[in-house]
Amino acid sequence: MSPLKGSVSATPRRRSHAERTAQTRESIISAVVDSIAEVGFQRTTAAEITRRAGVTWGAVQHHFGGKDGILLAVLEDSFDRFNRRVASIAESNMPLEKRIDLFIDRAWEHFGSAHYRSTLEILMSYAGSNDGDSERVWPGQMFLAWNRVWQGLFADSVQARRESLALQKFTISTLTGLAMTALLAGAHTRRPTAELNVLKSALRNRLASASSSSGGT
C-alpha cells in the first residue's frame, strides 16, 4: 500500500551530545543502585556495573573518574530525588502542622524506597572508611543541602540555630534508623506508620512552639 498523500516519514531525531551524556550517566547510576539493591554493596564490582549499564569501564571513568566518583554521584542523585519530592511543599500556603505531616510522609517515600536502601549501604561504607573524602558526604555537603530544604519548608518557625540543627539531625537519624530496620527486615516490611506519627508529633510540638513564641501563626 502506498503512503498517504502528504505524509511525512518519521525520521528519528538525533540526540545531542548533552542528551547522550546525560543518558549514559543515568544508566551507570541506575546500574549501581540496582546492583547494590540486588546483590549488595560488596558484590557491586566494576565488572557488575559495566555489565548492567552496557558500557565499558573506560566510559565509566570518563564520566565519573572511577568507583568513588560513581558512589558520590549516586548520593547526590539520591538527594536530588528527595529534594524533588518535598520541594512543592515549601511553595504551598498550608498550615505548619500540615506541612510537617506531608514532609514526613514524602520523606519516608524516599527513605523507605529501594533506591535509598542502596544509598544507605553506600553511606554505611563511607562511615567505615578512612578516606578523607567521606567527610564530605554525610554530614557535610549533604547536610548543608538538607538544611536549605528545611529552612525553606519551615521558615515561619524561628528557632535558635542549635535547636534547628538538633531537630534536623533527630529527623534524619529517625528516618535513617527506620530505613535500616526496613533493610534488615527485607523488602516486604510494613510501613512504620506508628513510628512516623511519633516523629510528626515531636516536630509539631517543637516547630509549632517556636512559631508561636516568635509571633507566627
Q: What is the pLDDT of residues 115-132, one digit of tens each?
A: 888 888 888 877 656 555
Q: What is the pLDDT, as a whole number, of residue 4?
A: 47
Residues 60 and 76 in one domain: no
Q: What is the pLDDT, as a whole number, of residue 171?
A: 95
Decide if 21 contacts 63 (C-beta within 8 A): yes
Residues 42 and 108 in one domain: no
Average the pLDDT over 91-107 and give the result. Answer: 91
Total structural domains within the chain: 2
Name every residue whose Cβ is closer than 8 Å to that of residue 39 and which is 6 or more positions away in sequence: 48
Q: What is the pLDDT, as a whole number, of residue 88?
A: 85
Let me know if residue 196 belongs to a domain. yes
The answer for 64, left when phi > 0, alpha when psi is -120 to 50, beta otherwise, is alpha
Residues 99 and 184 in one domain: yes
Determine phi and psi for 152, rounding to 5 degrees: -70, -35
Q: What is the pLDDT, as a whole number, of residue 204?
A: 94
CA distance 171 to 185: 21
Residues 97 and 153 in one domain: yes
Name every residue whose Cβ is closer than 8 Å to that of residue 146 and which is 6 or more positions away in sequence: 79, 168, 172
Residues 127 and 182 in one domain: yes
Q: What is the pLDDT, as a whole number, of residue 214?
A: 53
Name every residue whose Cβ is closer than 8 Å to that of residue 98 and which is 6 or more positions away in sequence: none
Let me know if residue 5 belongs to a domain. no
Average the pLDDT over 70-82 and give the result. Answer: 88
Residue with cell 511543599: 89
Average the pLDDT over 22-28 and give the result. Answer: 92
Name the band, by pLDDT with cuts 50, 70 and 90, for residue 174: very high
Residues 152 and 90 in one domain: yes
Residues of the chain with pLDDT > 70, as a percent, come to 82
CATH number at 58 reads 1.10.10.60
Q: What is the pLDDT, as a whole number, of residue 192?
A: 93
Q: pTM score, two decimals?
A: 0.77
Residues 58 and 119 in one domain: no
CA distance 117 to 113: 6
**Between 155 and 25, residue with greater pLDDT:** 25
The domain of 117 spans 71-213
Q: What angle do CA 74, 75, 79 make, to 5 degrees?
A: 115
